[in-house]
Amino acid sequence: MVQFFKQELSFDHSWSQVTLAIFRKYPNPFASHVLASDVIDRVVDPATGVIYTTRLFLKKGLLPKWGRSLFKVSDAFIIEHSTVDPRTQTMTTVTKNLSHTKLMLVEETQVIRPHPETANATTISSSARIVSNTGWDSLKTRIEGFGVSKFKDNTLKSARGLRHVLEQLTNASFSQ
């Protein structure tokens, strides 16, 4: 069984501010589970101006209390591939875990665009696919349910973290 999650959030900031904030999102006070982040590769296509970036994150591995006796989970590596197209004002990120993929694979896609109706606002559409390959249907369902629940919580923390970074960027531009 596969679990899906979808959410759309809006930010009262321009598309260029939000895309910059996404690249500067860590560290922030709402993401203590993110231990490290690094840019592995970044290329700009000279013909289109599209920026392709690959980043690697190290995050704390978390399990519910009922799963701690069954599985030993250490910290997890997450990879993110993103494209930023300044012509169409579209940023797309695809993020997935590289660690513990048999226990649970989480693949998230975000599309960041200017808000269709509000000037100087940006919309982030997120969708996630959560799959467990543990082998037992009842355990799969429970793990995937935990994954969706945790993903929802982390999405809220991520939005607060992004708003925090946007405020910092806004305050920095006013103080210069």
Query: How many CB atoms are closer than 10 A to CB 35?
Result: 14
- Distance CA(153)–CA(147), nearest Å, equals 10
Tokens representing residue 85 in the block: 């197209």
CATH number for the domain spanning 162: value is 3.30.530.20
Give the residue among 137, 133, 71 at the shortest CA–CA distance from 102: 133
Q: Which parts of the chain have pLDDT scores under 70?
A: 1, 61-73, 173-176
Q: Check residue 68 and give its pLDDT.
A: 52
Give 72-77's long-range contacts (Cβ < 8 A, gap of 24+).
73/100, 73/103, 74/99, 75/35, 75/99, 76/100
Please give the model's pTM, rounded to 2 decimal places.
0.87
pLDDT at residue 71, as a whole number: 62
In our burial notation (b when 16+ CB lie closer than 10 A, e otherwise), range 149-160 reads ebbeebbeebbe
Q: What pLDDT, on the 0 to 100 scale, is given for residue 56?
A: 98
DSSP-derived secondary structure letter, 49: -
Looking at the structure of the chain, the number of domains it has is 1
pLDDT at 175: 56
Q: Which pLDDT score, from 0 to 100, does residue 152 have?
A: 84
The DSSP bridge partners found for residue 110 are 93, 126
Largest CA distance in the chain: 58
In which domain, by residue range, is 40 found? Answer: 2-175
* H helix or E strand, kind and range, residue 153: helix 137-175
Report CA dihedral (122, 30, 54, 77) to the nearest 10 degrees: -150
